[in-house]
Amino acid sequence: MKNFEIKENDSELKKRLSKIEYDVTQNSATEAPFTSEYCSSDEKGLYVDIVTGEPLFLSTQKFDSGCGWPSFSKPIKDDFIECSTDTKYNMKRTEVRSKIGDSHLGHVFDDGPIEMGGLRYCINGASLRFIPFEDLEKEGYEEYIELFNK
């Protein structure tokens, strides 16, 4: 089982993350649409916060919304994320951030598939790291394996 309580300091993050990963997670930037390797990926596994490794989304909740960013119908648990009102750019949106790492992930909208709950978590791929299902135990995420059987 992994410990997600530790967030590296800013200089360590700048060394480890790419420029876009740092800008998205730490400065609330947005990656260009259709640039993330996760946009069209349908591999079975877990999406975690690239900063802390906090588990965020299951591949079973991912869908192709056509918006240009990975989309999910819900997080693994609501208390793994923080949502707040974002009024930048003369828009009113709901920003999504990781709970422990406080990483900017993206935004949530109410235009997702009805059969999946009606929400669309539009997430920057640059804020995520993907862990393939077969590597969950090796990477310390064994407690999430059972969620794929539901």
DSSP H or E run through 15? helix 10-16
| 67 counts as catalytic | no
- Contacts of residue 65, defined as CB under 8 A and 6 or more positions apart, other chains included, come to 71, 112, 120, 122
Under 8 Å between Cβ of 115 and 73:
no
- Report d(CA 30, CA 3) in Å as an integer: 28
Q: Which of 39, 67, 83, 122 is catalytic?
A: 122
Catalytic sites, residue numbers: 122
